[in-house]
């Protein structure tokens, strides 16, 4: 597997993947957008398997045949940097482990993202699946939140969601219903007036997602378990994120009626828990963590200082 990957996993492959494979085919974007990142993690998992096998080998030496993979690819909505080094690992007598490191961020370009949203709406692909609804219904904590939230809004929390741009050539309108009977339901209409109407400016939303993706995904260095990167995640990043959220909220979100905003703020905690703590919404997309790790600063990794 490693030999097959290292033969063709290069700048040419990156150009083909981002410029041709993901270009305009919405099914490929939906089902294959994570393929490049998965290939990077496949390289890392191979290295982790080799490192585990070293404990049983007679020589304890890293096997031959690994050829360095090193390239970078950038465009307006993509940043990929891949490099490999042999790193001396302290927990294994400073033996050198072949190590893949990478930085990765990607989102569809602005026009493609707009058309992708239209495609998803046309195919009713928004909202949780039936299996997801069943998992929520079997979770007492989640159902307690849904019951509590819906009771505060007379039995059902109904929201009109509108995403549109200033030019007026793009608008998506959906109605979200949250109550114990339907759990979560997105539809094109509802029988009664919504409790809250939320209008979102598409351009502001896209710029916000782009900034957050580039800032926090694009600058993060990832690698196998024996490399624990010291990230610069101090107050600067916190205030950058807070500032971006505040700017997007101020410039791109309108809530009607105005008095509903105060009530909504009191329910933000419950809504956030429903969105982010639902079954299957979180998980480790990387490799398994290990107790024995080498702490390497981000600067040292980038500048190859070891």
pLDDT digits 0-9 by tens, 240-289: 888 988 999 899 999 998 888 778 777 777 776 666 555 544 444 444 43
Q: Which residue has the higher pLDDT, 117 or 297?
A: 117
Instruction: Sketch the domain layout of the chain as residue ranges.
Output: 2-109+221-235+288-303, 111-206+240-276
pTM of the model: 0.77
Residue 80 has pLDDT above 90, yes or no: yes
**Cis ω before 257 (30° cut-off from 0):** yes
How buried is residue 50: exposed, middle or buried, by Cβ count under 10 Å (0-12/13-18/19+)?
middle
pLDDT at 233: 59
Which stretch of 127-131, 156-160, 172-176, 279-283 has the lowest confidence by average pLDDT? 279-283
In sequence order, the β-bridge partners of residue 265 are none
Element of type H or E holding 200: strand 196-201
pLDDT at 231: 61
202-212 vs 235-252: helix crossing angle, rounded to 10: 170
pLDDT at 242: 84
What is the CB neighbour count within 10 angstroms for residue 243? 11
pLDDT at 301: 42
Residue 305 has pLDDT above 60, yes or no: no
pLDDT at 232: 59
Residue 295 has pLDDT above 50, yes or no: no
Q: What is the dihedral of CA 111, 116, 117, 118, to 10 degrees?
A: 90
Residue 296 has pLDDT above 80, yes or no: no
Residue 299 has pLDDT above 50, yes or no: no
Which stretch of 139-143, 235-239, 274-278 has the lowest confidence by average pLDDT? 274-278
CATH number of 111-206+240-276: 3.30.1050
Please name which of 231, 205, 12 lies closest in space to residue 107, comparing C-alpha atoms: 205
Q: Which residue has the higher pLDDT, 73 or 61?
A: 73
Compute the average pLDDT of residues 202-217: 92
Residue 12 has pLDDT above 70, yes or no: yes
Name the 3-class secondary structure at 10.
Answer: coil
Element of type H or E holding 285: none
Which stretch of 153-162, 196-205, 288-297 has the lowest confidence by average pLDDT? 288-297
pLDDT at 285: 41
Mean pLDDT of the chain: 83
Cβ pair 162, 171 in contact under 8 A = yes
Q: Which residue has the higher pLDDT, 221 or 190?
A: 221
pLDDT at 276: 58
Compute the average pLDDT of residues 110-121: 91
Phi, psi of 41 (to 5 degrees): -70, -25
Please name which of 80, 54, 53 lies closest in space to residue 69, comparing C-alpha atoms: 80
Residue 14 has pLDDT above 60, yes or no: yes
């Amino acid at each position: 597997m490693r030999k097959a990957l290292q033969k063709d996993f290069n700048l040419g492959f990156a150009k083909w993947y981002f410029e041709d494979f993901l270009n305009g085919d919405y099914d490929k974007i939906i089902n294959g957008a994570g393929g490049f990142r998965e290939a990077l993690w496949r390289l890392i998992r191979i290295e982790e398997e080799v490192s585990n096998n070293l404990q049983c080998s007679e020589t304890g030496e890293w096997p031959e045949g690994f050829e360095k993979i090193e390239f970078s690819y950038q465009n307006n909505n993509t940043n990929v940097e891949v490099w490999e080094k042999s790193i001396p690992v302290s927990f294994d007598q400073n033996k050198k482990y072949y190590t893949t490191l990478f930085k990765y961020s990607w989102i569809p370009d602005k026009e493609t993202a707009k058309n992708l949203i239209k495609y998803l709406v046309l195919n009713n692909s928004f909202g949780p699946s039936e299996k997801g609804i069943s998992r929520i219904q079997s979770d007492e904590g989640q159902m307690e939140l849904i019951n509590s939230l819906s009771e505060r809004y007379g039995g059902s929390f109904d929201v009109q969601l509108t995403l549109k741009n200033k030019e007026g050539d793009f608008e998506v309108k959906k109605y979200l219903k949250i109550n114990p009977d339907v759990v979560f339901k997105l539809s094109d209409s509802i029988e009664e007036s919504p409790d809250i109407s939320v209008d979102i400016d598409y351009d502001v939303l896209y710029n916000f997602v782009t900034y957050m993706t580039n800032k926090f995904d694009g600058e993060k260095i990832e690698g196998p378990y024996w490399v624990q990167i010291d990230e610069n995640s101090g107050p600067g990043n916190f205030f950058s994120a807070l500032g971006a959220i505040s700017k997007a909220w101020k410039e791109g979100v309108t809530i009607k009626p105005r008095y509903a905003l105060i009530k909504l703020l009191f329910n933000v905690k419950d809504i956030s828990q429903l969105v982010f703590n639902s079954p299957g919404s979180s998980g480790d997309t990387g490799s398994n963590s290990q107790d024995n790790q080498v702490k390497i600063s981000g600067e040292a990794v980038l500048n190859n200082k070891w």
